[in-house]
Chains A and B, each alone.
Chain A
Amino acid sequence: MSELPGDLLYTRDHEWLRREDDGSVTIGITDHAQHALGDLVYVELPEVGQVVSEAGEMAVVESVKAASDVYAPISGEIVEVNDELADDPEKINSDPYGDGWIVRMEPSDGIDEDALLSPDDYQEFIDELDD
C-alpha cells in the first residue's frame, strides 16, 4: 500500500482531514478504506449548508459490495461537496486523497488534534488491523 500523505490528519473510521489556508477542512476516506470497500458505485453527499456534529452521519459511500456511512470527524457546517463524485464515484478509488475528496467543512469548534491520528499513528493503526 502507498505511503500516507504526511500533511493530513486521520481517524479510526478511516477518514482523512486537510486543514486549508482559509480555516476550512477538507475530508475524504483513506486509501485503506477505499481498498477495503472495493469499487465505489454511488456516493450520497450532504447538502451544502447542512450542519453536522462530530460522529454524526455525513455521507454514504456504496461499493459493489456494501454501503458504508461516513461520519463527520468534527462538528461544523458543510461548505462544499465534491459534486463530481455523483457521476464518477470511482474517483475515490483512484485518487482518495486528491480528486476523491468528499466534503469541505467550516469547523464550529476548531479541530481537536488529540482526538485525531497523525500519519504515523494511523499507519500503526492500520498495520495492526492487517495483522
Chain B
Amino acid sequence: MGSRTPLYDKHVAANARIVDFGGWDMPLHYGSQKEEHHAVRQHAGVFDVSHMTIVDLSGARVREFLQYLVANDVTKLKDHGKALYTCMLNADGGVIDDLIVYLMSDTDYRLIVNAATREKDLAWIRKQAADFDVAVVERDELGMLAVQGPKARELAAGCIDARYRDAALALKPFTGLQAGDTFIARTGYTGEDGWEICVPAVDAPGVWDCLLAAGVVPCGLGARDTLRLEAAMNLYGADMDESVSPLEAGLNWTVAWEPADRNFIGRKALEAQRAKADNRRFVGLLLEDRGVLRNHQKVVVDGFGEGEITSGGFSPTIDRSIALARLPAGDYDRAKVDVRGKLLNVRIVKTPFVRNGEVRIDTVGEKQ
C-alpha cells in the first residue's frame, strides 16, 4: 500500500481505478479518462493533487535565498499572492525540479514541488537554506485540490468561505489569496482557467463533496496528463530531469538572465550552454499518419540526426496524436517517428496544442 491522500476514500467511493504514482495510491480515472478530459475543456473537473509537496520558507533573507536557489527571479513578484514558475537547477544546469513560488509576505514564500521528487527537493532546499537562516517547513498537513475548466471558478465559488468569495473570484491569473486557513490560487496544469486550493487535510473531503454536488467532474491523473500535454506544460521526469537544462526543455522563458550579477545555482553552466549553437530543440509534434506517439520513441530528422519523444500521447481535443520532443539543432519542420518499427510522419508545430478549450495548431487540410 502506498501513501494515501485525505481524499483516498472519496476516490474509492467514486469508483476510481487506483494506481501507484510515486509511492502514492492515486486515481488514474473514474471510468473514462477521455470524458474527464473533455469535462475540463468544456465544463469543470477536480483533481486531487494532495500528493504534491507544499514547502513554506520564511526568514529575513528568504528573498535573497530564493534568488540563489532558483533560475527565475523572485523579485518579479511584487504583490503578495503572486506566483512564479521556475526551475531549481544543480551546478551543471540540470533540472532538480520545476516548481511554483508564491510570495506570501515580505518574509514568507510558498513553494509547490513535485511529489515524486519530494525527498531530494527537501534535502537540497534545506542544504542550501542553511547559509541563509531560512526556515524550511513542509506543510504535509494540507490537502490540495485543482478545480479546472471554463466553469471551474464559478462552480467552486460556492465551496469556499463566503467571506473570501468575491476576493477569490477577483484573483488575476497566477495569483493566490490566503482565505482563513485555505489558500486559493488561480493556477493549474491543464491550460484552462481554474483554481488550486490548499486546505487542511480534514477539510479536503468536504470541499470535494461540495464540488461534486456543484456538478464538477472528478478527474484522475490520466486526464491530468493528456490535458497538460495538450497545453504543452512540461512534466518533470519525462520532459526534463537532472541531465537536461531548461534551455533544452523549452523553458528558456523561465530563466531570468537579468540582473546579470544575480548568482543562481547553475548560472555558469547555463551561460556556457547558451553561447553554443548546437543546443537541441524542444518542440511540439503532430502525428500526420495514424497511430499514437509515446514517450521514448525515436525521432528521425533526415540530414540532422535523431531525437526522442519526451511526452507523447493521444489528444482527445484534437483527436490526433501529439507529443513533445527533444530534437537535434537545425532548421526543419518535419520529421519521422519510429512507432513500433514503422516510420510515421510528424510535423513540428508551435505549442500549446490547445489552450482555453481551443485547438491552437493548424490541422486543416490533413487527413487522419
Contact = CB atoms under 8 A, between A and B. Distances in A.
Contact of A64 (B222, B290, B291, B340): B222
B294 A64 contact: no
Interface residues of B, number: 17
B292 A38 contact: no
Interface in B11-27: 17
Given A38-B29, A60-B340, A64-B33, A44 B222 contact: no
Contacts of A60: 340
Contacts of B32: 38-39
B222 A41 contact: no
> What is the interface of chain B mostly: helix, strand, loop, or mixed?
mixed
B222 A65 contact: yes
Contacts of A71: none
A122 interface: no
A42 B314 contact: yes
Interface string B298-329: 00000000000000011010000100000000
Contacts of A38: 17, 28-29, 32-33, 222
A19 B340 CA distance: 31
B226 interface: yes
B340 A67 contact: yes
Nearest to B29: A38
A41 B292 contact: yes
Interface in A28-55: 38-39, 41-42, 44
A79 B341 CA distance: 25
Contacts of B290: 42, 44, 86
A64 B230 CA distance: 13
A38 B222 CA distance: 10
Interface string A59-102: 01010111100000000000000000010000000000000000
A42 B291 contact: yes
A2 B8 CA distance: 26
A123 B29 CA distance: 24
Interface of A: 38-39, 41-42, 44, 60, 62, 64-67, 86
11 contacts: A38-B32, A41-B292, A42-B291, A42-B314, A44-B290, A44-B291, A64-B34, A64-B316, A65-B28, A66-B294, A67-B340
